Structure 1
Amino acid sequence: MSVEVSGIGFDDPVLLASGILGSTGASLNRALRSGAGGVVTKSIGPRERTGHPGPNVFVDDSEEYALNAVGLSNPSDAFTDEVEKVEGPTVVSVFGGTADEFADVAGTFAPYADAFELNVSCPHAEGYGVDIGADAELTRDVTAAVDEAVDAPVWVKMTPDVTDVTEIGVAAQEGGADAVVATNTLSAMAIDVESGRPILGNAHGGMSGSALKPVAVRCVYDLYDALDIPIVGVGGVSSAEDALEYMLAGARAVEVGTAVWDGVEVLGEIADGIETYKKDNDLSHDELVGRAHELTPKEDGDGGEG
């Protein structure tokens, strides 16, 4: 089931997404033992942050979506002690307010990271995240700064909160990105009708879960046509079918986040389901990735390399 993304080998194409079980080396290793081919840490920044006041997580009664506004809380450099303990492929998620801050944080974690995921897409931290990732020039500059600072592959995590995700993806590629991750959470909010107040302490947050998947799959599909670098799909993956949808759209691997709340064993179950599908349909991994483009020819040209 092994798969390669930007030169990094993973035991299978199912990775733990950033922010879920990513706070300690022990929890990241637990994800690996449960079937994840690799793990992405929580996002680490240039200085300690306590994040937003609670409530900072809300799960809708339908369980179709969750909202979070954690606010990029993190221990900064002290997290090296935890990353050092991880016993498998490790993608370190980093953020900053400037290109130099991104590069400095990545440089600190360079001895421990197999790759870096640039969080330029968090929708609920003013001055960070989507404030950068919605701007093509800033995305290009941040990516280039990190690419120059470290030898490891650089992945750029995209925001769906833009008019044209391919413009941002192309900017990341021009900046030296080795892969893009599509997508981060979608800016959203919920209001309690009894009190009349927003449910989250920060009022608005990021929506994850199955309700996000159609948006993120569309982003992957469009990015596949526009880019020459690999794509990692994320958003609402809770089954092998969800993961396969991303792969058919053009993702080489997927990340799983919200679904892990119901049991970390879902990581291995998804990986096994992908492998069964490939065997049943006599498909290699390369043949699976982007297959929807081959089966639905486009009038305006060929599908991308992905």
Structure 2
Amino acid sequence: MIAQRNMEVSIGSLSLQNPVMPASGAFGPEMHEALDFNKIGAIIPKSITKHPQPGNDTPRVCETHGGMINSIGIQSKGLDVYLSKIIPEFSAYDVPLISSISAESIDEFCEMSDVLGNHPDIDALELNISCPNLKGDGLAFGMDAEVTRELLTRVRQVTDVPLIAKLTPNVTSIQEIAKAADAGGADALTVANTILAMAIDTETKKPMVGNVMGGLSGPAVKPIMVRMIYQTSQVTDLPIIGCGGIMNGTDAIEMILAGASAVQVGTASFITPTALTDVVQEIRDYMERHDVKNIYDLVGSVEC
């Protein structure tokens, strides 16, 4: 008789049947042709902005050794289309729907969180604090601990749904930002967004993406993310969602051992459309091989 393997995890008050979800920006409704959305832990559509945005100049993506640089920008059809088209499309599935929000100011984060965080079909919010604070100094919200704390504190006042702060890795100390998000009322942390990077075409002497710089993702960034997950887990008890470079179940397990309760899969889905459900099965296979009955027995169990 095969023993039951409990893969259920909690993100604040939100329960997920397994710890695997897409990274925002690497998931779309057309993927239902390749995988069963009801078999993943949660759905996270691309970050939404209040107003429509065209995104960055082309080219927007280039390959690098062990990864890719993307400079899509927050291309968005705006909040009205999100409410009328995107939410109904994804809420038809039996897994939690998490909205990723990108905004230009704390006030705008609060305004959008008030709308989405009180929508009956939205189960949690992921606050993309890696986007630039255009009402401040232009740096990402998540580069400043005090701004991070204020942003979470104010958003917490307008909604009761779980709040996930998506941290930027482009900081000196991710621990300080994590503690600030915790102090502000975050229920979980995504560690982390893409790493700011640049590539140059040596023949044309021009940057390989139209915006000059972009976000590096893929296998090359995974060791950095594993390190950041471990560091973050040492300073907060909040659930951590590991993100960056997961290509298979072994990569996911590595992040879980470092301290992540859940993981997000991004670049891998561009290569293998079934990557999300593949990772779910590979985590289950690992638990079978090592006779792990509960996923939480693995969380943070690295032996240092």
Same fold (TM > 0.5): yes
Secondary structure, in 3 states, of the residue corresponding to 1:282? Answer: coil
Q: Match for residue 295 of structure 2? A: 285
| TM-score calculated relative to the size of structure 1 | 0.89
| TM-score calculated relative to the size of structure 2 | 0.90
Contact 2:18 2:40 in 1 (8 A): yes
Contact 1:28 1:41 in 2 (8 A): no
Q: Match for residue 17 of structure 1? A: 23
Q: Match for residue 65 of structure 1? A: 67
Contact 1:130 1:159 in 2 (8 A): no
Give, in whole Å, the separation in 2 of the partners of 1:173 and 1:28. 35
Contact 2:105 2:134 in 1 (8 A): no
Structure 1 residues 35-82: Cα deviation after superposition (integer angstroms, max 9, x where no partner): 42212111111211111110011123x4x1110111111112111121
Per-residue deviation, 1:29: 8.8
Give, in whole Å, the separation in 2 of the partners of 1:182 and 1:130. 18
Structure 1 residues 163-199: Cα deviation after superposition (integer angstroms, max 9, x where no partner): 1100000000000000000010000010000100001
Contact 2:133 2:141 in 1 (8 A): no
With CA pairs under 8 Å and 6+ residues apart, which has the higher RCO, 1 or 2?
Answer: 2
Contact 1:278 1:288 in 2 (8 A): no
Q: Match for residue 249 of structure 1? A: 258
Per-residue deviation, 1:250: 0.3
Within the alignment, does 1:91 sit opposite 2:107 as a pair? no
Contact 2:105 2:133 in 1 (8 A): no
Contact 1:180 1:231 in 2 (8 A): yes
Give, in whole Å, the separation in 2 of the partners of 1:266 and 1:150. 33
Q: Match for residue 74 of structure 1? A: 76
Residues 109-128 of structure 1: pairs in structure 2 closer than 5 A: 109-110=116-117, 111=119, 112-122=121-131, 127=134
Decide which of 5, 8, 18 is 2:11's aligned counterpart: 5
Secondary structure, in 3 states, of the residue corresponding to 2:172? Answer: coil
Aligned alpha-carbon RMSD (Å): 1.9
Unaligned runs of 5+ in 1: 297-306
Unaligned runs of 5+ in 2: 1-6
Secondary structure, in 3 states, of the residue corresponding to 2:169? Answer: coil
The change in CA–CA distance for 1:21 and 1:73 in structure 2 (over 3 A counts) is same
Decide which of 136, 141, 164 is 2:173's aligned counterpart: 164
Within the alignment, does 1:218 sit opposite 2:227 as a pair? yes
Give, in whole Å, the separation in 1 of the partners of 2:31 and 2:283. 24
Contact 2:253 2:283 in 1 (8 A): yes
Give, in whole Å, the separation in 2 of the partners of 1:131 and 1:19. 18
The change in CA–CA distance for 1:261 and 1:26 in structure 2 (over 3 A counts) is closer
The change in CA–CA distance for 1:127 and 1:212 in structure 2 (over 3 A counts) is farther
Within the alignment, does 1:275 sit opposite 2:284 as a pair? yes
Contact 2:189 2:240 in 1 (8 A): yes
The change in CA–CA distance for 1:117 and 1:231 in structure 2 (over 3 A counts) is same
Within the alignment, does 1:200 sit opposite 2:209 as a pair? yes
Give, in whole Å, the separation in 1 of the partners of 2:158 and 2:229. 27
**Matched residues, number:** 288
